[in-house]
Structure 1
């Protein structure tokens, strides 16, 4: 196993993340019998899933588990560590790799759709600030699966990393936008078609065709009169990104 120590002798990982990797023993005797890191993290995930990320606090978790707040700090040193562990549990392991012979585009698209499903099942994850590169067992496993999909493309390792970051960033951004729009529509009490129609009507009143001719042409085309099927924007965006990556792969093949 690779050395997990930095040049100064200190670990790069907090103790709770090391425990998730099996690099150190988890506390076996907590302040209360049965208290474990897994129970703490799973309880936090349950709270986030039911009430949102803002509802997660050490005090709330301790109350749910029937222990003191301070007792949790034997297992998790800070809330930021807890967030990382919560995401790892919510992500779970990645789907199995594609069968032999599947091309890189199909494999990477499958990875992207699977990642999107994880976000849509756990919308609270979109509210967790990014804290660094993959550093937990499941997150690294998902990274591995994406890198596997790019084997045989001829891309250098740095280019593969950039491709995975590009696709992963698109997935996260689209999921966040979709979740926010869904929340707005839900709060309005109207159907997506009604909200879109109202927006189009408002825009027609505000956007003078002489000043905004391109917007006026778009409105006149009728594209704002009905909502697209739910996955259309994701499919469209992902396909355009994969088209661009295909050009990069072709350029590498031609060298």
Structure 2
């Protein structure tokens, strides 16, 4: 059932593709959003405030509110603007290669803009930028026999995997805080957490190239699962 509730103002603006009117000094919504992304990329989401953004742009804080209603609205604009267009694919038969490129593209987005991982992710995407990625992910499976619901389940599983793996890799290798594996080695009692202790002893959480290798390994497992689902959907398949 369609809702009669009005869209939030930020979504209305984004879906109208409205270009904000430039004011004195060249201030515009686009310029504000670009500066906010730069600030969050450099100093993290916690450093982003309307006052600091105004200082960076050389304007008064109240000038920002002529273009952006509040910080929540600013974040909506940032999340829609920050990802580059998703990778294009031309071979509809190579769903695995296309979905791998899509996942790697997301991995790169999260590493270029780690603050995305600290934004609320409780609801589904509604802005054009994020929906373009979801649409592209589903399109990689367009030439398969999978049902639409299964396609969405598969793409969502990979999306959450990439997001979680990127968060672990970025946080574990952070230079401003103790490295994650080092903290675990101080905290873990192998008798209480034997499986995690075994993984730690094997060095799978030590970061660097290991995290990249583990990411690719986990992605292959997910893709193998999708491939198995495809085989079960083929006519005449027997379990």
Interval of TM-score (by shorter of Structure 1 and Structure 2)? 0.7 to 0.9
Partners of 1:225 and 1:38 in 2: CA distance: 42
Task: Give runs of ≥4 in structure 1 deviating > 3 Å.
Answer: 24-27, 185-188, 198-203, 211-216, 224-228
Q: Give me the CA root mean square deviation.
A: 3.1
From the superposition, tell whether residues 249 and 35 of structure 1 become closer, same or farther in structure 2 (CA, over 3 Å).
same
Q: What is the distance in 2 between the residues matched to 1:123 and 1:63?
A: 23
Q: 1:58 to 1:135 in 2, by over 3 A?
A: same
| CA apart distance, 1:102 | 4.2
* In structure 2, distance between residues paired with 1:155 and 1:179: 34
Instruction: Give the Cα–Cα distance (whole angstroms) in 1 for the partners of residues 177 and 75 of structure 2.
Output: 28
Structure-2 separation of matches of 1:63 and 1:200? 43
Residue 143 (structure 1) shift: 1.4
Q: Tell me by how many angstroms 1:212 deviates.
A: 7.5
Query: Cα deviation per residue 1:13-58 (whole Å; 9 max; x = unaligned)?
Result: 42x333333x16444254x341111011001001101111011111
Shift of 1:161: 1.3
Quote the Cα distance in structure 1 between the aligned partners of 2:67 and 2:229: 46
Which of these residues, 112, 116, 132, is aligned with residue 141 of structure 1? 132
1:231 is aligned to: 212
Q: Cα–Cα, structure 1 residues 199 and 34, in superposed 2: closer, same or farther, change >3 Å?
A: closer
Question: Paired residue for 2:7, among 12, 16, 27?
Answer: 12
The answer to whether the 8 A contact 2:20-2:30 is kept is no
Distance in 1 between residues matched to 2:204 and 2:144, nearest whole Å: 42
Structure 2 residue runs of 5 or longer lacking an equivalent are: none
Answer yes or no: is 1:70 the counterpart of 2:65: no
User: Would the alpha carbon gap of residues 27 and 250 (structure 1) be closer, same or farther in structure 2, given more than 3 Å must change?
Assistant: same
| 1:117-159 residue CA offsets vs partner (Å, 9 max, x unmatched) | 1101111111111253232232222112111100122112122
* TM-score where L is the length of structure 1: 0.78
**Contact 1:41/1:82, CA 8 A, preserved across alignment:** yes
Match of 1:181 among 158, 172, 186: 172
Stretches of structure 1 lacking an aligned partner (at least 5 in a row): 1-5
Count the aligned residue pairs.
233
C-alpha spacing 1:200/1:78, structure 2 compared with 1 (3 Å): closer
